Amino acid sequence: MSEYKSTGIIRKEDLEIPSDERLEEGPVVIMECVENIPCDPCVAACSFDAVEMEEITDTPDVEYETCTGCGFCVTECPGLAIFVVDCSYSDENCKITIPYEYIPVPDEGDEVKALDREGNEVQKAVVTNVRQSGKTYAVTIEVDKENVWKVRGFEVEK
Amino acid sequence: MSERRIFEHPILDFDRGYEFYFDFEGKKIKAYEGETIASALYADGLRKFTESKKLERPRGFFCAIGKCSSCLMSVDGRPNIRTCVTLAEEGMEVERHGPKAEFPQTDVGRGGERKKEEIEIAVIGGGPAGLMASIVAARNGSEVHLFDEGDDLGGQLVKQTHQFFGSHQEDAGTRGIDIGKELLEEARDVGVEIHNGSKVLGYYPEKKITIESDGRLEIYDSQGIVYAGGAVENYLSFENNDLPGVYGAGGVQTLMNEEGIVPGEKVLMIGSGNVGLIVGYQLLQAGVNVVEIIEALPEIGGYQVHASKIRRAGVPIRASHTIKKAIGDEKVEGAVVQKIDENWNPVKGTEREVECDVICLAVGLSPDTGFLRQADCEMDYVPELGGFVPLRTEDMMTTQRGIYVAGDAAGIEEATVAALEGKIAGAAIYEELHEETEDTRRSKEEAKEGLDKMRKGPYGEVPKQGVKTCTVDEEVCG
């Protein structure tokens, strides 16, 4: 039994991730979707045909060399399980794009609490971009590079 | 919490009508146009709506869809009114009468002469299955009457604020609330006659149904029936489980997503299937604190992506845990939870008090099949589909020729499956009464392919096995 089955928390080891070289090259998608569930909107969401799926219950197969990290799929995933990381941003910092469906919606430049996969605060982070698609937002925040695999959520301080 | 109405929500816009007041036991209660009496009272803070007959235990808001009888009150002198499905009106006089109402002094009837009509197809239930069946049969030329007891059609879709899973072709990525609206519009466009506020009372041979609508009895003599009556929520045994504040997940969704009223401040969620995880997430979106989700099994029941989403928000999910009792006299003021071992026995010394004012039960659903039993459809107990379900052909016909079934009444799955089954039933009933057309042939083919796709993978394997055991050849049908 994988640990996430009893905890709901994905670990880096559970994921298929891009190579270190690809991560350094620029923004790329990280799909934290590891079960064989019947769902495929991410395939249609990609304008670059970087996501493949033979059966609807397959997990998404991402061609990382084709993925531009545009992040369009982030707001299209019903499971809110798609993130974009950009490790090429600077030497110390990286950017993470996170799907968001709560209120209030932050503005660019706001400081938010960056959270890990259990909702614990990891660090403070600055919002660098906010994109809306329907009622779902893709919010990009800037965090320390060492936290790139830790941070997967954020909280707007009220 | 002073204001229980939701005014700002990340997904929903609550379009409240004008504000007015009605009288409740001498107190002025604020309500908005379109709100039910029970919702307005709940928003005002009332928790005890009536009491039980024998032990006089408090009874409060529970199902929110007119099924549980926990909200019966007297309205303008008429007793036993289901306040959760009765709209509040300005100047109304509402009072509690407990379990033993007196014979009314006023004229109770609102009906008139009974109505009797011959129709071609009766579809019962206006959720995704019933809507889709109606659309397919009507667009091929059938005269279709769709009956639903609610004011708004769409079934449980009207509460689903999340984007749907499934195939992109079958509306995945679209929110349930929007799918319901689209289907309803399509049904109107193809000429389906919609009877909302129409409760089906019973079945009589040969394919006659009786309906109660606004106090009037209606009798419809049909040539064919598609039954898509959905499901009922399961309950759980624990001490004090009848206290106001113990709610089904569906009731919570109705109150929160339809009526725009939060159920409380701190919610303990029981059950980590997709319903528990999704309603937990919707509570967070409405600004309610979900203190924890407990699950009796050693594994989380629902999809990992739903579980991860709610964990990211800081909500713990505790597997191998159960609820021992609810705390409180007149309403829920807390709960005691404990660990259980692999044999479902409580582990000593693990009891823990949880602070909460709502206990939300998301412990599964059972097919609502009373109508089909009344129509003598052969049933079978299929645990993979949630309980007793009708035997059916691949075309969704029950063992009674001309009576079809679709959606959760045929077995507990989800909305996309319900719509696909409805598509098959709608096409098949048209074929039975008329002939095969290019559209009915294609609809059945596409929907069957869709069902095969949806029932793949580890989560699809369970209903797939279940469906196999209750699918029969057409020769079995009467």
Predicted confidence (pLDDT) at residue B107 exceeds the cutoff of 70? no
**Assigned domain for B241 exists:** no
Cβ–Cβ < 8 Å for A61, A34: no
- Asked if B459 lies within 8 A of A6 by C-beta distance, the reply is no
pLDDT for the residue B333: 97
Same domain, B268 and B357: yes
Backbone angles phi and psi of B201, in degrees to 5: -95, -40
Structure tokens at B105: 């002094």
B109 pLDDT band, cuts 50/70/90, is low
Please tell me the total count of domains within chain B: 3
Number of domains in chain A: 1
Residue, of B457 and B132, whose pLDDT is higher: B132
B336 with B436, same domain: the answer is: no
> How many angstroms separate the CA atoms of B244 and B68, rounded?
13
Tell me the CA distances in angstroms from A73 to A68, A97, A100, B314, B476, one per residue in order.
11, 11, 13, 24, 48
Predicted confidence (pLDDT) at residue B156 exceeds the cutoff of 90: no
Q: Same structural domain for residues B326 and B374?
A: no
If you average pLDDT over residues B156-171, what whole number do you get?
A: 78
Best A10, A36, A57, A139 member to test B by mutation, with max B CBs in 10 Å, is A57
Token pair for B446 = 């596409």
Whether residues B345 and B405 share a domain: the answer is no
Flag residues of chain A having pLDDT under 50.
none
Q: Token digits for B167?
A: 């195939």
- pLDDT class of B439 with cuts at 50, 70, 90: very high
Q: Which of B321, B330, B318, B320 is nearest to B240 (CA)?
A: B330
- Domain match, B250 and B307 both: yes
Question: What mean pLDDT do residues B405-428 have?
Answer: 96
B342/B336: higher pLDDT: B336
CATH number at residue B37: 3.10.20.440
- Considering the domain architecture, whether residues B85 and B139 belong to the same structural domain is answered as no
Verify whether the Cβ–Cβ distance B457 to A135 is below 8 Å. Answer: no
pLDDT, residue B457, reads 84
Q: Is residue B445 part of a domain?
A: yes
- Kindly state the greatest CA–CA separation across chain B: 67
pLDDT score of B145: 98
Rg (chain A; Cα; Å): 15
Q: B10 touching A, CB under 8 A? A: yes
Reported as type and span, the H/E element at residue B445 is: helix B438-454
The residues, ordered by sequence, that sit 6+ positions from A54 with a Cβ below 8 Å of its Cβ are: none
Is B454 in the A-facing interface, judged by CB distances under 8 Å? yes
Q: What CATH number is associated with residue B169?
A: 3.50.50.60
Q: How confident is the model at residue B2, as a pLDDT?
A: 62
pLDDT band (50, 70, 90) for residue B112: low
Using an 8 Å CB-CB cutoff, list chain A residues near B308: 4, 8-10, 32, 81, 117
Distance of CA B159 to the CA centre of its chain: 9
Q: Report the candidate in B327, B362, B249, B330 with the shortest Cα–Cα distance to residue B49.
A: B330
pLDDT of residue B334 exceeding 80, the answer is yes
Answer whether residue B201 shows pLDDT above 70.
Answer: yes
Which chain B residues are closer than 8 Å to A117 by Cβ? 308, 311-312
Contact B33, B259 (CB under 8 A): no
Contacts of A116 in chain B (CB under 8 A): 312
Dist CA B218 CA B78 (whole Å): 22
Task: Assess if residue B316 is contained within a domain.
Answer: yes
Question: What does the pLDDT average to over B281-298?
Answer: 97
- The residue out of B363, B380, B413 marking a domain boundary is B363
Question: By the CB < 8 Å criterion, does B412 face chain A?
Answer: no
Residues of chain B with pLDDT > 90, as a percent, come to 78
Nearest CA among B395, B472, B452 for reference residue B426: B395
Give the other-Cβ count within 10 Å of B435's Cβ. 9
Burial bucket for residue B442 (CB in 10 Å: 0-12, 13-18, 19+): exposed
Residues of A in contact with B9 (CB under 8 A): 103
* Average pLDDT value for chain B: 93
Q: Are residues B44 and B85 in the same domain?
A: yes
Q: Per-residue confidence at B475, pLDDT binned at 50, 70, 90?
A: confident
The domain in which residue A58 lies consists of 4-155
User: Are B250 and B359 part of one and the same domain?
Assistant: yes
What is the strand order of the sheet B144-147 is part of?
B193-195, B144-147, B121-124, B224-227, B403-405
CA nearest to A137 within chain B: B10
Last residue of a domain, one of B363, B396, B426: B363
Chain A residues in contact with B456 (beta carbon < 8 A): 36, 38, 55-57
Last residue of a domain, one of B65, B95, B125: B95
Does residue B110 lie in a domain region? no
Choose the closest CB to B298 out of A6, A41, A105.
A6
Indicate whether B336 and B416 sit together in one domain.
no
- Would B104 be classed as within a structural domain? no
Pair (B133, B227) in one structural domain: yes
Residue B347's pLDDT is what? Answer: 96
Q: Is residue B297 part of a domain?
A: yes
Angle value at C-alpha B302, between B148 and B174, nearest 5 degrees? 55
- CA-to-CA distance for A76 and B36, rounded, in angstroms? 35
A66 touches chain B (CB under 8 A): no
Which position has the higher pLDDT, B317 or B155?
B317
Residues spanned by the domain of B389: 115-232+366-476
Of B11, B307, B457, which is closest to A101 when you measure between CB atoms?
A: B11
Computed from CA positions of residues A143, A149, A151, A153, in that sequence, does the dihedral angle turn out positive or negative? positive
